Amino acid sequence: MILTVTLNTALDLTYRVPALVPHASHRVTQVIERPGGKGLNVARVLAALGHETVATGFAGGSTGEILRTHLAGGPVVDALIPTAGTTRRTVAIVDTATGDTTQLNEPGPTVTPAEWSTFTAHYTDLLADADAVALCGSLPPGIHVGAYAELVRLARAAGVPVLLDTSGEPLRRGIAARPDVVKPNADELAQLTGSREPHRATRDARRRGAHAVVSSLGPDGMLAATPDGLWRATPPAPVKGNPTGAGDSAVAGLLSGLVEKLPWPERLTRAVALSAATVLAPVAGEFERLAYEELLTRVTVTEQPAAA
C-alpha cells in the first residue's frame, strides 16, 4: 500500500471559458469538481497506475463532506480525519482559446493542536501497512512549520520510504529530517538553496539531507541528484494544456518507481511522461493514457557529469 498525506485538502473546481478577459463577465462552458490538494492528486494517479493507495489528511465542513462523497467508492481509500474548520476550495479557470490556466487558492481551515495530535497517531497507525508515503502540499493554518519534518521522522522510524513535496520553511525543515526523495520545482529549489543554476542547486539541496533530490524544470523535464549519479530527463517536446497537477503526477511516477524498485532512469522516464500526459488532461489528478504510453518511449534520460 502507498500512503499519501494531504494536510491541506481542497475541493478542486475547474471552469472552462472561451476566453478569460479581465473586468468582464464570462459564460462558463464546463465545470468539473474533484477532490484536490497535491496528495489526493498523487493518490488518483497512483491508483490509475494500479497501486493500492490510501489517502489521509484533514477534511471538514460542507466542502469536506462533498470531497469525501467524491472519494466514496473510488479506487483511493479514504482515511481522512475530521477537522472542525471547513475544507478550502481551489478554482482553476481554463482559457480554451489559449490553453492558459488561472488558479485561485483559498486558505485552508485552522487545525487545532488536539486535531494535530489525533492525526499523528492516525498516521503512525497507517504507516504499519505502508510500502511508501508521500507528504504533499502546503500546511493549513495552525500546524507548526516543522510538521513535515515530524512526519518524515515518524516514517523513518517505521522503516517506510518517504517522499516530500512542499515549499518554503516546511521544505527547509523537512529536508533536514532526511527524506528519501524531495521534489521541488525550480522556484522552490532556488528559495531553498539561493541558486538558480539547476545542477548546483539540486546537488546543494541533496547535501542538506535528502537521499535524492528531483528538481522539476517545467516543460524542460527533470533533474535528479541521486546516490547513483546525476540524471537529466527531457520530454520530446513541450506540450500545451492545463499544467495543474503535472507535478503531482511526477510525484506519483517517482513514488511508484521507488516501490517497484526501478532504476533511476526508468523512474524519471515515468515521472516526465506522466507529467506531460497530465498537461493534456482536462483536470488535475488525471492523465491521458495513450499520450503517457507513447511518451514513455520518447523521454530522453542522460547521465550528467558530476561537476556539471
266 — pLDDT class (breaks 50, 70, 90): very high
Task: Say what the alpha-carbon torsion angle 13, 16, 22, 27 is, to the nearest 10 degrees.
Answer: -110
18 — pLDDT class (breaks 50, 70, 90): very high
User: Based on C-alpha coordinates, what's the Rg of the chain?
Assistant: 18
Q: Does the reported pTM lie above 0.95?
A: no
196 — pLDDT class (breaks 50, 70, 90): confident
Condensed to tens digits (0 to 9), the pLDDT of residues 215-252 reads 998 888 999 999 989 999 999 887 777 777 889 999 99
pLDDT score recorded for residue 281: 80
User: Please, where are the H alpha helices in 8-127?
Assistant: 38-48, 61-71, 113-127
Pick the closest to residue 251 from 166, 171, 177 (CA basis).
Answer: 166
pLDDT score recorded for residue 37: 92
In three-state secondary structure terms, 53 is strand
Give residue for cell 515530524. Answer: 150
Query: H or E segment at 256?
Result: helix 246-259
> How would you class 21 by CB atoms within 10 Å of its CB: exposed for 0-12, middle for 13-18, buried for 19 or more?
exposed
Choice among 12, 78, 165, 248 that is catalytic: 248
DSSP string, 206-226: HHTT-SEEEEE-GGG-EEEEE
C-beta of residue 181 within 8 angstroms of C-beta of residue 160 = no
* Mean pLDDT across the chain: 92
307 — pLDDT class (breaks 50, 70, 90): low
pLDDT score recorded for residue 162: 98
For residues 9 and 302, give the distance between their C-alpha atoms in angstroms, rounded to a whole number.
Answer: 36
C-beta of residue 10 within 8 angstroms of C-beta of residue 249 = no
270 — pLDDT class (breaks 50, 70, 90): very high
Query: H or E segment at 184?
Result: none
284 — pLDDT class (breaks 50, 70, 90): low
Q: Indicate whether 82 pLDDT > 70.
A: yes
Query: H or E segment at 105?
Result: strand 101-105
Instruction: Decide if 228 is catalytic.
Output: no
Residues facing residue 285 across a β-bridge: none
